Amino acid sequence: MTDTLTIARVGGQGDGIAATPNGLIFAPLTLPGETVRGTVREGRLEDVEILTASPDRIAPVSPQYGDCGGCSLQHWAAEPYLDWKREQVRLALAREKIDAEVEPTVPVPAGSRRRLALHARRGPDGRAILGFKARKSWRLVEVNSCPVADPRLVAALPALAKVAEPFLEHPKSAPTLHVTLTLDGLDVDVTGVERRSGGGLSRDAQMKAIEAAAAADLARLSLAGETLVMARQPHVQFGPATVPVPPGGFLQAAPPAEQAMVERAVAAVKGAKKIADLFCGAGTFTFPLATVAPVIAADGSAPGIAALKAGFRTAKKIKTIEAQARDLFRRPMAPYDLRGCDAIVLDPPRAGALEQTQQIAQTKATTVVYVSCNPVTFARDARVLLDAGFRLETVTPVDQFLWSAHVELVSVFRR
C-alpha cells in the first residue's frame, strides 16, 4: 500500500519529515513543501516518488546520487541548504535555552575535499572496487568520480583500487583506505584488515601492496598507523609551519573550511598575552595562533604532538610553543595548568569536551574560541561557559562536509 505525504521540514540527519496521525515519517532525498508517494516501513518512506517538487530542488551532480550514502542534500539549492545548516545550530542552542545570533553558514566549494575514506570490497568479477556505503546499508557503491573531492583524489581512484587489492587477502577483511592529499602526494592509511583469525597481512600481500603503492606514486602507505613504505614524508602547511603528517593522523577535511575557522580563531585572540590550544592535533590552529602570542598546546595523540614539535622547527617569526601529549578527557587542563592564558582555543571531537570546559570556566581567561563538529555537544558545553559568566559573542557554521547533514562551527566567548 502506498502513502501520499507532504514534507514539512528536513530533520537533523538530512531526511525530509512528514507529520502523520501515526507519527513522524522520514523520507530520504526530499525537501520541505514537496508532495511525495511511497511505501511506509518502520517509520520510513521507501521507493519515494516526487509528485510535486519544491522550487528549491536542483539537479544533483554526482552520478552516484540516490544510491551512495554521502552527499544526500545535493538536490537542494545552495541558499536554503546553507540556511538549514544555520538553523541546526540555532535549534541545538535553543535546546540549552541559549539565545544567540547565528551567523550565515560559510560555504565551501565542491572539489575541495582533501580526505576520503574509501571502502574496498571484491566486485562480482573478483577485482577490488572502491566506494562508499549505500544509504542505510552495508552494500558498497562503487565510486569512479566524486564532486566533493579534490580532482587529484578522483584521478587516483583506479590506482588506489590496485593498492587495495592485497588488503583483501583474508575473506573477513573489510579494508578502508583513508586517503589524504598532502604537499608531497597521497598518504594512505589502511584499516579494517583482519588480524585475529588471519594473523594480519602476509609478507607476500605486504610486498604486493608496496609495489602497488610505488606504481601509484603514493607518498606513504601505512597499515593501521604503521608505515609499510614511505617514498616521501607527507607534509601539510599550518600557517608559517610545514608539518609532517603522522600515519592516520587527523586533519580538517577541506582546506577552505580550515582557513575559515583558523581566520576567525586568530582574529578573536588578537591582543592576547598567552594562548592555550587544546585538542590541538598536529597544530592546525597552534601555528597561526603562535603568530599572536606564546601557545600552550595539548592533545591526546602523541604522534600528533611529535609532528607539531617537528613543524615548530620549520616556522619563522612565531612565538614559543609548549606542546604536551595529554588525554584531555581523563586529565583535562586545570586552571593551574592554564595560568596566564587569557585566551583558550579548543577543537574537541564529536563527543565535545565537558570536563575540559568545566575547568576552563574556572580560569581567568577572557576569551574562549570553541570549534565544534557537533552542535549538540557544543551547546551543552556552551551552557557551562555561559553559566560561568561568559557571553557568546559569535557562532559561525561552516559547511566543511558539503551536501551532508554534518555541521561544523566556530564560536567566540568573551568573559
pLDDT band at residue 199 using 50, 70 and 90 as cut-offs: low
Q: Same fold for the domain at 1-56 and the one at 115-235?
A: yes
Closest CA relative to residue 341, chosen from 305, 313, 369: 369
Q: What is the reported pLDDT for 162?
A: 96
For the residues 332-351, what does the mean pLDDT come to? 97
- Decide if pLDDT at 61 tops 70: yes
pLDDT of residue 111: 96
Name the residue ranges covered by the structural domains of the chain.
1-56, 82-108+251-414, 115-235
- Give pLDDT tens digits for 7-33: 999 999 999 999 998 899 999 999 999
pLDDT at 197 over 70: no
The DSSP output letter for 266 is: H
Whether residue 414 contacts residue 392, with contact meaning beta carbons closer than 8 Å, is answered with no
pLDDT tens digits for range 246-287: 998 889 999 999 999 999 999 999 999 999 999 999 999 999
The region of weakest confidence among 121-125, 208-212, 281-285, 316-320 is: 121-125
pLDDT, one tens digit per residue, over 46-57 is 999 999 999 999
CA 383-388-392 angle, to 5 degrees, is 55
Output the pLDDT for position 124.
86
Which residue intervals of 156-300 are DSSP H helices? 157-164, 203-215, 255-268, 286-289
Q: How far apart are CA 249 and CA 281, in angstroms?
A: 8
39: number of Cβ within 10 Å: 12
CATH class of the structural domain 115-235: mainly beta
- The architecture that CATH gives domain 1-56 is Beta Barrel (2.40)
Exposure pattern of 187-199 as b/e (b: 16+ CB <10 Å)? Answer: bbbbbbbbeeeee
DSSP characters over 90-105:
HHHHHHTT---PBPPP
Q: Residue 315 CB: number of other CB atoms within 10 A?
A: 20
Q: Model confidence over 358-394: pLDDT tens digits?
A: 999 999 999 999 999 999 999 999 999 999 999 999 9
In CATH, the number for domain 82-108+251-414 is 3.40.50.150
Sign of the torsion angle spanned by Cα atoms 252, 257, 261, 266:
positive
Return the active site residues: 373
Q: Which of 186-190, 199-203, 244-248 has the lowest mean pLDDT?
A: 199-203
> How would you class 126 by CB atoms within 10 Å of its CB: exposed for 0-12, middle for 13-18, buried for 19 or more?
exposed
Provide the pLDDT confidence category of residue 138 given band limits of 50, 70 and 90.
Answer: confident
Q: Judge whether 36 and 49 are in contact, CB under 8 Å.
A: yes
Residue 198 has what pLDDT?
Answer: 60
Q: What is the pTM of this model?
A: 0.94
Question: What would the pLDDT profile of 313-330 be if each residue is shown by its tens digit?
Answer: 999 999 999 999 999 999
Summary mean pLDDT of the chain: 94
Pairing of strands 235-238, 295-299: unpaired
